[in-house]
Amino acid sequence: MFDSLYKRIEINPFDYLDSFNRNTALMVTIDKAGKCNVMALDWKKITEFEGDPVIRAQVAYSRYTYTLLTKGEAEFTINIPSERINNAVDIAGSFSGRNTDKIKMAKLELIPGGATKVPTLKNCLLNYECKIIHDAKSEISSHHYFYGKIIRAYGSVDL
């Protein structure tokens, strides 16, 4: 389906894996009051979980994002930025949403979620709306695993 407003099309989540794997993502989460946060995320994988397409994201316990994933809405979006928002990765990866509004600081523009309360981001090559269906403690790393079922995936036709 073509989304003419945001110039993107709905894609199969397993398309464009190369671009997904190669780039640092911007992970957006939201608290129960509707306030969003963004974090840089390298440790991510598109895979299947019990037959569903999922994104497995590894998030350290110290991140504010971890608090939002466990105490806010059980959803996240994964956004692969285009060159237009290059600066956002540094900001999202160096400050914490506990005391900084990184979305404002990086001048990120939001697209209301179609299937999630969490928005996606404009000026991205790829966007994924995910609902958490499982999470697990890792035996080998200090990062927690979150498995988000991919409800919708989009690819830009403009960038």
Q: How many CA atoms lie within 13 A of 125 on its CB side?
A: 16
Taking alpha carbons only, the member of 82, 34, 24, 35 closest to residue 57 is 24
- Nearer of residues 89 and 151 to ligand FMN, judged by Cβ: 89
Pairing of the two strands 110-111 and 36-41: unpaired
Determine the 3-state secondary structure of 91 from DSSP.
helix
User: Minimum CB separation from ligand FMN for residue 106, in Å?
Assistant: 12
Give whichever of 3 and 143 is closer to ligand FMN, judged by the CB atom. Answer: 143
Measured from the CB atom, the residue of 8 and 80 that comes closer to ligand FMN is 80
CB atoms within 10 A of CB 115: 12
Q: Which is nearer to ligand FMN, 8 or 59 (CB)?
A: 59
Closest CA to 121 of 76, 70, 55, 90: 76
Q: Which residue has its beta carbon closest to ligand FMN? A: 93
Shortest reach from residue 98's CB to ligand FMN, in Å: 6
Binding site for ligand FMN (CB under 6 A): 24, 37, 39-43, 58-60, 63-65, 89, 92-98, 143
